Amino acid sequence: MEAEIVDRSPAQPDSGAKRRQVIDGARAVFLNVGFDGASMNDIARAAGVSKGTLYAYFDSKEQLFEALIREERAQQAERLCVFPAEGGDPAELLRDFGRRLLEMVLRPEIIAQVRVVIAATARFPQLGRTFYESGPHYGIQRLAARLASFSKAGTLAVEDADMAARQFTSLCCSDLQKQVLFGVVTSVTAEQIEAAVDSALELFLKVYAPSAPPAA
């Protein structure tokens, strides 16, 4: 049998659209069969490209999966962290952020992606780090910056903004996300999301609300 010749020539001028085609095909395969079950042949077939085209963009399945994670998580984090102009009411901003966060992490496609990443991370730790750094870590940094501005304005009393941001996101996601991730339930209602965020916000503000000025 003749050995397959893989063309690794540089990508052509339509590289942006073709790369997107590859990414879309890879997403479908990874979510369907997982990281271990996926092959470059499967991905090329799902993307409708040759293996030569696939290898012109990515040298390995690991590199392709990492690019997919980085791209999608960064876009999700950017959409999540669109905050209004400086100022405003911390409770309103945090309530809105918490609801958007919980709605995002509970989407079926996000749950499926998290499961694939967890399964792959034991053998490929870089994939887990990429997932965390381009998604959760980015969101925490952006929220921390906003919490620091509230503290500076005196509307919150936050000494460690990074820690406070981690605490708030954990409070919002904790049990509902775990229930869906581990298959205890398949979906949650808008009312459950609102209740989880309102409870998280109540606890958060008990710790970080500014002290009332002493009575005259």
DSSP secondary structure string for all residues of 147-201 = HHHHHHHTSS--S-HHHHHHHHHHHHHHHHHHHHHTTS-S---HHHHHHHHHHHH
Rounded to a whole number, what is the distance in angstroms from the first to the last CA of the chain? 92
Give the pLDDT confidence of 11-44 residue by residue, as tens digits: 443 568 888 899 999 999 998 999 999 999 999 9
Domain with CATH 1.10.10.60 in the chain: 15-59
Give the pLDDT confidence of 119-160 residue by residue, as tens digits: 999 999 999 999 998 888 888 999 999 999 999 999 999 999
**Residues 208 and 157 sit within 8 Å (Cβ to Cβ):** yes
Protein fold of 15-59: Arc Repressor Mutant, subunit A (1.10.10)
CATH architecture of 71-208: Orthogonal Bundle (1.10)
